[in-house]
Amino acid sequence: MYQQKIKEVLAEIGKVVVGQESLINRILIGLFTGGHILLEGVPGLAKTLSINTISQVLQLDFRRIQFTSDLLPSDLIGTMIYKPKVGDYEVKKGPIFANIILADEVNRSPAKVQSALLEAMQEKQVTIGDTTYKLDKPFLVLATQNPVEQEGTYPLPEAQLDRFMMKVHLDYLNRAEELEVMRRMADLNFKYVPQPLLSKEDIFKIREEVNKVNISETLERYIIELVFATRRPMEYNFKEEARYIQFGVSPRATIHLNLAAKALAYMEGRNYVLPEDIKEVVPDIMNHRILLNYEAEADDIRTSHIIDSILSKIAIG
């Protein structure tokens, strides 16, 4: 029902954002499945522009929060303000009360702030004073971390990383895309206001349709085998992988693989999942959940190497 409309959404976003199809695709998957996304890439890759454009096309409230070392939980979720004239406290809600949150450089804030974000991501609610407030739906957190500037950062703990459905690595544009960006931005008169095409109600209906996408038992078992290969590689005689893996992926990875594959199939215009759908989302869902040991670091082995190896060795069916 909405598959043609999604194509129109992608085309409308493309009138503002050049390239970054993978980023936009993953953000839509997150919206259609309720999964949060961690973005990693150098500055200037149109992350904020892409997210802001998507929020306009889908008629969603968008807030960007710059995470810094002196940020407080109250700066994120809100606080109680005393009103002398009334003689009572009033709740001032923070920027977390929006549909799409861009948590920019999330690893620059200390653990207290990250914990406040964690409750919002997991429970879809925040607590101010003695009162708990439900967040607006849909609610999606898109967090960024800069891989270049490592000074003054607080590494995200494994428990928080696991709350993110995907970790998406962003790369530079190709030559043709870079040329188009230059031409647009060099034109001081260029300004395009994206047209709204979907509403919140449409997103909830899309979620219902994604939930009805069929995934065969064979592919369900394929997902299980991929997951268990990261946890018990020696059972599969994966000696090289077992040498480097300290911890495999969590049960959330299993759930997210199923949901993301369904969403991708739906966006491709199908009501059934193909093996290619699963293989396409595996790297983004597993790359932040596989924890490697010091030997892997010494041998310059990355999670992408482990994932590629497992995908090449696990058979379907």
The residue ranges of every structural domain in the chain are 3-201, 212-313
pLDDT of residue 150: 57
pLDDT 10s per residue in the chain (317 long)? Answer: 788 899 999 999 988 888 888 889 999 999 999 999 999 877 777 888 888 899 999 999 999 999 888 888 888 888 888 778 777 778 888 899 999 999 988 888 887 888 888 888 888 888 887 888 899 889 999 998 876 555 556 777 777 888 899 999 888 888 998 898 888 877 777 778 889 999 999 999 999 999 999 999 999 999 999 999 999 999 889 988 889 999 999 999 999 999 999 999 999 999 999 999 999 999 999 999 999 999 988 988 999 999 999 999 998 87
| Domains 3-201 and 212-313 equal at CATH topology level | no
pTM of the prediction?
0.90
pLDDT of residue 45: 78
Residue owning tokens 């310059």: 300
- CA 281/CA 263 separation, integer angstroms: 10
- Displacement of CA 208 from its chain's centroid (Å): 20
pLDDT of residue 147: 65
pLDDT of residue 148: 52
Supply the CATH classification number for the domain 3-201. Answer: 3.40.50.300
Q: Residues 254-263, buried b or exposed e (16+ Cβ, 10 A)?
A: bebbbbbbbb
Supply the CATH classification number for the domain 212-313. Answer: 1.10.8.80
Residue owning tokens 């293989």: 279
Residue owning tokens 């206001």: 193
Residue 7, both tokens: 């194509």
Q: Is 104 in contact with 91 (CB distance < 8 Å)? A: no
- Displacement of CA 216 from its chain's centroid (Å): 26
- CA 214/CA 200 separation, integer angstroms: 24
pLDDT of residue 152: 59
